[in-house]
Chain A
Amino acid sequence: MLIRHADDLTENDVTPHDVYLRRREFLTLGAAGIGLGLAGEAAAIPLKGNPSPFSTTEPKTSKEDVTGYNNFYEFGVDKDDPARNAGSLKTSPWTIRIDGECAKPGTVDLASFLRGNTLQDRVYRHRCVEGWSMVIPWLGVPLADLLKRYQPTSKAKYVAFETLYRPSEMPGQKRRVLDWPYREGLRIDEAMNPLAFMAVGLYGETLKNQNGAPMRLVVPWKYGFKSIKSIVRISFTETQPRTAWNLSAPQEYGFYSNVNPEVDHPRWSQATERRIGEFRRRPTLMFNGYGEQVASLYRGMDLKKFF
């Protein structure tokens, strides 16, 4: 019987103490990497985030409703279509191209992105343009943290986002309900606002496909359709980018689309909303209640004109 002596171990065999202390994080991220490596709908991987002062303490909408009642036309136009059809989307491998007016264009590989970032919890109100709302516990990173790495130049006045176009896995794209791929955009100062958030998780795990896996935008002071899902491209632009719903019906959906109870959608009053799970409508708040953080972005602007 061979008995190994302790002095067979070299310094290299010992886990450095700081790494040892982070072993659980490593397990989580390693597991996330494995999960994202699977074909088809990745099994949900638990994620952990640090609390944020931007989180609301309002009661959260049930996970069942957050993952079962979605507008994601790439998977069909009915609210339960995404949950039913999104399983076909392969979210791994997944890279996001970042280009345009920046010093360091490049790509983000999602798995390494997850490894290199400390996630934050953000419990945000979510207000759909159709007059319903939710409270959703996201996990992710501030959008600004991601964008700054690519060093936008002084010409970068806007940020444009694009969703994956892959009709074979996104059955809703087989019909031109919208002008695919789905596109969205923000002014650069909006994108750099600390509330603007890039989410990779929801309710303590990786995003489900119907919620915009593997990575989506969350801009809580704007109507939900601004929070573009399953992003594959981010471009810094000098001119205001075209956006999907604005292209579809410009008189109904403006570029800004800030939540504003005083500016009605032609087909819906925006004065009130129904919080999913509640019976009575409740008044809608200016900027969805995030005026303190974002109202200054629009000082001096006529929000009826720039709706």
Chain B
Amino acid sequence: MSRKTVDAIALWAVSLACLLPLLWLGWRTYQGDLGANPIETLIRQLGVWGLRLLIVGLTITPLARILKQPRLIRVRRPIGLFAFGYVVLHLSTYIGVDQYFDWQAIWKDVVKRPFITIGMAAFLLLIPLAATSFNAAIRRLGPLTWRRLHRLIYLIAPMGVVHYYLLVKADHRPPLVYGVIVVLLLGYRLLPRAGRA
């Protein structure tokens, strides 16, 4: 098999894998299997999958380097875009279904509740990254600027974890697990020689 074929298969496989949680959620929604509070379940699941994919995206660079498989980097883009997709769905479910476009209530949430403030800020920071996730954008910006811009993810991922942490009432273990993983992945980038993407 040619390299191109392998790359294409890898991209399709990764995209399909990223789509599976959404299909699963869609199926459960259709079956009425989201529990007594389906809207909350949907928002939580979409948010958690957004965060998971952001984290998976952050593992690609270290993995490619450790495995000495530079071409692995190519799957980073679909993972990041899917992460953005889950975050968009997470946010739109909150705005359109949970709050039913009650902009006044939403604005109050954004201003008054730190977890929503942080979540919203993280979403806004993701937009330029998603918007520049195609080859023409990289060419337009120049690889160096593009790379600098995309370092925003080092800020966004921890914000996602904090957003989750602040929402939890008492059992902080799950968000802390994500937090530890993010710290390790970002820490890896501080190692000498690792900083070059």
Chain A positions within 8 Å of B, measured between CB atoms, are 64-65, 68-69, 73, 77, 79-80, 130, 132, 175, 177-178, 248, 264, 266-269, 271-272, 274, 276-277, 279-281
Is B109 within 8 A of A281, CB to CB? no
Identity of the chain A residue whose Cβ is nearest the Cβ of B115 in the assembled complex: A267
Task: A268 to B115: give the CA distance in the assembly, Å.
Answer: 10
Given known pairs A77-B171, A177-B171, the reply for A69 and B115 (CB within 8 Å) is: no
Interface SS of chain A: helix, strand, loop or mixed?
loop
Chain B positions within 8 Å of A, measured between CB atoms, are 35-37, 39-40, 98-100, 102, 105, 108-109, 112-115, 166-167, 169-171
16 A-B pairs in the complex with CB atoms less than 8 angstroms apart = A69-B36, A69-B37, A73-B170, A79-B36, A80-B35, A132-B37, A177-B171, A178-B170, A248-B170, A269-B105, A269-B109, A269-B112, A269-B113, A274-B40, A279-B39, A281-B100
Looking at the complex, which one of B36, B99, B100, B102 makes contact with A276 (CB distance below 8 Å)? B36
Residue from B99, B113, B169 whose CB has the most chain A CB atoms within 10 Å: B169
Task: A277 to B32: give the CA distance in the assembly, Å.
Answer: 11
Is B105 within 8 A of A271, CB to CB? yes
Task: A148 to B157: give the CA distance in the assembly, Å.
Answer: 57
Is B105 within 8 A of A79, CB to CB? no
Task: Please name all residues of chain A whose beta carbon is closer than 8 Å to the beta carbon of B167 when the two chains form the complex.
Answer: 267
Q: Return the 3 tightest CB-CB contacts between A and B, nearest first.
A: A69-B36, A65-B36, A77-B171
Task: Please name all residues of chain A whose beta carbon is closer than 8 Å to the beta carbon of B105 when the two chains form the complex.
Answer: 269, 271-272
Given known pairs A266-B113, A267-B113, A280-B100, the reply for A77 and B37 (CB within 8 Å) is: no
Task: A143 to B105: give the CA distance in the assembly, Å.
Answer: 38
Identity of the chain A residue whose Cβ is nearest the Cβ of B99 in the assembled complex: A281
Is B113 within 8 A of A69, CB to CB? no
Task: Please name all residues of chain A whose beta carbon is closer than 8 Å to the beta carbon of B99 when the two chains form the complex.
Answer: 281
Is B171 within 8 A of A79, CB to CB? no
Identity of the chain A residue whose Cβ is nearest the Cβ of B172 in the assembled complex: A177
Is B112 within 8 A of A264, CB to CB? yes
Task: A80 to B40: give the CA distance in the assembly, Å.
Answer: 13
Residue from B105, B114, B115, B171 whose CB has the most chain A CB atoms within 10 Å: B171
Task: Please name all residues of chain A whose beta carbon is closer than 8 Å to the beta carbon of B109 when the two chains form the complex.
Answer: 269
